[in-house]
Amino acid sequence: MTAQPGTTRAVLALGANMGDRLAALQGAVDALAAADGVSVLAVSGVYSTDPVGGPQQDDFLNAAVLIDTDLTPHELLVLAHRIEADHHRTREVRWGPRTLDVDLIVMRTAEGEIVLDTEDLTLPHPRAYERAFVCVPWADVEPDADLPDLDAAGVLRTDLQLVIR
């Protein structure tokens, strides 16, 4: 993933398991595409996945989006939270059901990967490489990404069902 000078390339993971899940994912993509300073480059297929951690809940739909942006990591986080709020996301139960989840996974400039560890944002995302529901859609939008061998880690790609390509 190489960004042009002056821009940052980013991967965002989308997930939803409440309400009209597919409409929420599409709404997030549309909101990203309409945002100042963001250019959507690719959108993955949509995958149906079992919830990981947290309470008993319905299955998720997950996707990934590859963007170029001139936003800082924290500005992109604010945008992600605004998009979630526009879809009535609440944060009452950790890893609980949600109408929409927009996670920043990785950001890179022409100089290399952005590494952050602040109170509200850690980049790269600390658990992304352990989760098939992030890595499989990510591989759709960025086939050359250096991603782990999920099958070797015991997380089978077959745990995900492609819903829409």
User: Catalytic: 21?
Assistant: no
What pLDDT does 4 receive? 60
Identity at 86, one-letter amino acid code: D
Which pLDDT does position 137 carry in this prediction? 92
Whole-model pTM?
0.85
Collapsing DSSP states into helix, strand and coil, what is residue 53? coil
DSSP reduced 3-state for 137? helix
- The letter for the amino acid at 137 is P
The answer to whether residue 89 is domain-embedded is: yes
Query: Would you write out the chain's pLDDT as a tens digit for each of its 165 residues?
Result: 555 667 899 999 999 998 999 999 999 999 999 999 999 999 999 998 877 766 676 888 999 999 999 999 999 999 999 999 898 766 666 656 788 999 999 999 988 889 989 999 988 888 887 788 888 899 899 988 877 665 554 444 556 666 765
Q: Is 2 a member of any domain?
A: no
Catalytic residue among 9, 21, 98, 131: 98
Is residue 43 in a domain? yes
Q: What is the pLDDT of residue 100?
A: 93
pLDDT tens digit sequence for 10-24: 999 999 998 999 999
Q: Is 91 tagged catalytic?
A: no
The answer to whether position 75 is within a domain reads yes
For residue range 128-152, what is the model confidence (pLDDT) as tens digits? 877 888 888 998 999 888 776 655 5
Give the pair of three-digit tokens for residue 79: 């945008």
CA proximity to 77, closest of 35, 18, 44: 35
**117 an active-site residue?**
no
Q: Is residue 3 part of a domain?
A: no
- On whether residue 88 sits in a domain, the answer given is yes
Active-site choice (68, 70, 86, 103): 103
Q: Specify if 95 maps to a domain.
A: yes
42: domain CATH number is 3.30.70.560
Whole-number Å distance between alpha carbons of 112 and 1? 9
Active site residue 98: yes
Domain that holds residue 90: 8-164
Query: Domain count of the chain?
Result: 1
Instruction: Flag whether 101 is in a domain.
Output: yes
Note whether 113 and 65 are within 8 A (CB): no
